[in-house]
Amino acid sequence: MNKTALITGSSRGIGRATAIKLAQSGYNVCINYIERDDLANALAKDLCEKGFNAMTFQADVSDKAGVGAMVKEVENKFGIIDLIVNNAGVAGMALFQDVTDEMWERYFNVNLNGARNTIQAVLPDMIKRKKGVIVNVSSIWGMHGASCEVTYCCTKHALIGLTRALAKEVAPSGIRVNCVAPGVINTDMVQVLGQEVLDELAKETPIGRLGTPEDIANAICFLASDEASFITGQVLVSDGGFIN
């Protein structure tokens, strides 16, 4: 029987690549999105046509009730959720003195509270079954900080704290919690920086290129796999040597 994975923010970028790799690995996958229903539905259609099991669900992860409805729908279609990948996130640049209450609250509501909402929605069943995996997607900026990204960095740092503390709490119940910290990844989120900046970032990366969504999907899927069965509470950095 296939395992089931819920990947938040998976209509594009890292989430999309992760949904594809997990489906190829035999998971039933739920593709969560908030706006891009065209991309989410196209991805699900493509996966299903290839013989994989996929569904979509529109939900803002910051909305606890919406997340609860999503989890219920996934369980109705595929059964108990075995894996959660908390990938949904928002980012942007601003001087700290220009950060508005709305910006601060939105970033925390999506990047941190979104993970809390999905975890709390599935954790009771995981504890009951003494089995489950949670992978959170943080950032190298959640470990080291970045100028003009204080809000984003705070949320990603908090996500690492959640990972480490929750891992200790639920390990006796057979549940593993880990985190991936991507470096500069070539997604829509960084394309706004412009090609000149991206080229410079690639030069600053010792491995000589920007990361791809597939690079991070590989790290996520490793942490989700039985090959990582003795790994919990850890942060796996995938940044091409950008920060060491």
Catalytically active residues, by annotation: 152
Element (H, E) at 144: helix 141-144
The rounded Cα 207 to chain-centroid distance in angstroms is 24
CA atoms within 13 A on the CB side of 70: 32
Task: Give the phi and the psi of residue 65 in degrees, each rounded to 5.
Answer: -65, -40
Query: For residue 237, what is the DSSP state?
Result: E
How is residue 113 written in tokens? 């509270």
For residues 177 and 165, the answer to whether their CB atoms sit within 8 Å is no
Helices 213-224 and 13-24, axial angle in degrees (round to 10): 50
DSSP assignment letter at 51 = T
